[in-house]
Amino acid sequence: MSARPTTLAEIFPEPPADLDREALDLAAIPRHVAIIMDGNGRWAQARGLDRGEGHKAGIRAVREAITTCNDVGVRCLTIYSFSTENWKRPQDEVKGLMTLFAETMSAEVKGLMAEGVRIKLLGRTDELPLATRTVLCGAEKASESNTGMTLAIAINYGSRTEMADAARSLAADVAAGTLRPGDIDEAAFEQRLYTAGLPDPDLLIRTSGELRLSNFLLWQLAYAEFYITDVLWPDFDRYELLRALLAYQGRNRRFGEVK
C-alpha cells in the first residue's frame, strides 16, 4: 500500500492558478464537515444523460471528498445521501440509488477499512431495502472499532424525524420511570439523536447553489459555518473542497459572543 500524502503539495498537487494551497492551515482544519451533495441530476441533464449517470458520477466525487478530508485531518465527514423525502422520486430512480449504494459500499469497504475509517449510519436504516441495509449495516459493524476518520452516511434521514424519534425515546423513559422530566436538557436530547457521540459540524458545504438546509441536521448545524457553491456535486473535486476549507478558515467564529 502506498503511503498517504501528508504535505499540501501531495494532497493538492495541481491547484488552479487562483488557489494558494499553502494558505491552508492544517492545524485549523474543521473537525466535522457536513455536505449536502446536490446537482447530480442537473449535471446529467446538461450532458444529455440519464439521471442515474449523474448519481454514478456523484459517487466519484464522494470518493474524492472522503480521501481528501481524511488526508487533511478532518475527523468526521457526514454526507447527505438520501433523505426521507427522496422516496417520492420516480421508483426507477430510487431503486437504482439503493442498488448503487449497496454496490458502492461493497466495492469501497475494503479500502475504507485499510484507512481506518469508521462508518456510521444516520437515519431509519431499518426501512431500507434488505440488500442495501445488509451491506451498509455490515460495513458499519465491521468498522466500529476503527479509530480513523468517521464517515457518517445520512441515508433515509430527515432531521425532523430524527428529533421526533429522540423525543419519543425520552418520553418512553419518562413513562417507564427511568428518567425524570427535570433531567431532560440539551445533552440528554443530543444523546438520543442519530448523531450521538459525534461533534457538531463546524462546516456545512452545499453544492449546486441551493440556499436551504433540506431537513438536514437542523439541531446539529446551530453554529456551523455555511459554504455554498454553484458547482454541481459531480464536479466538486479536491480543489473545490480546498476553496471551502480556505473560506472556513477566513471566518470569525463567535458562537454568540462578541469577539
What whole-number distance in Å separates Cα of residue 182 and Cα of residue 203?
Answer: 33
pLDDT in the model for residue 259: 63
pLDDT at 5: 85
pLDDT, tens only, 60-71:
999 999 999 999
Predicted pLDDT of residue 148? 95
Among 20, 71, 86, 235, the active-site one is 86
Question: What tens digit of pLDDT does each residue of 99-127 get?
Answer: 999 999 999 999 999 999 999 999 999 99
- What is the torsion angle, in degrees rounded to the nearest 10, for the CA atoms of residue 166, residue 147, residue 60 and residue 239? 100
Residue 2 has pLDDT above 70, yes or no: no
pLDDT of residue 162: 98
Report the share of the chain in percent with pLDDT over 70.
98
253: amino acid identity, one letter: R
Annotated catalytic residue 252: no
The per-residue pLDDT for 252 is 87
- Is the confidence at residue 76, as pLDDT, over 70? yes
Please state the pTM of the whole predicted model. 0.95
Q: Which of 201, 242, 240 is nearest to 220 (CA)?
A: 201
Mean pLDDT to the nearest integer, 137-154: 97
Active site residue 86: yes
pLDDT (tens digit per residue) in 3-54: 778 899 999 999 999 999 999 999 999 999 999 999 999 999 999 999 999 9
pLDDT in tens, 180-233: 999 999 999 999 999 999 999 999 999 999 999 999 999 999 999 999 999 999
Residue 140 amino acid letter: E
Residue 1 pLDDT exceeds 60? no
Q: Which residues contact residue 170 at a Cβ distance below 8 angstroms, ignoring those fewer than 6 apart?
A: 179, 184, 188, 189, 192
Instruction: Give the pLDDT score at 257.
Output: 72
Per the model's pLDDT, the better-predicted residue between 253 and 104 turns out to be 104
Mean pLDDT of the chain: 96
Segment 149-172, tens digit of pLDDT: 999 999 999 999 999 999 999 999
Of 18, 20, 25, 38, the active-site residue reads: 38
Q: Which residues of 50-69 are buried (b: 16+ CB within 10 A; e: fewer)?
A: ebbbbbbbbbebbebbbbbb
| Three-state helix/strand/coil letters over the chain | CCCCCCCHHHHCCCCCCCCCHHHCCHHHCCCEEEEECCCHHHHHHHCCCCHHHHHHHHHHHHHHHHHHHHHHCCCEEEEEEEEHHHHHCCHHHHHHHHHHHHHHHHHHHHHHHHCCCEEEEECCHHHCCHHHHHHHHHHHHHCCCCCCCEEEEEEEECHHHHHHHHHHHHHHHHHHCCCCHHHCCHHHHHCCCCCCCCCCCCEEEECCCCCCCCCCCCCCCCCCEEEECCCCHHHCCHHHHHHHHHHHHCCCCCCCCCC
Residue in 131, 75, 142 with CA at minimum distance from that of residue 104? 131
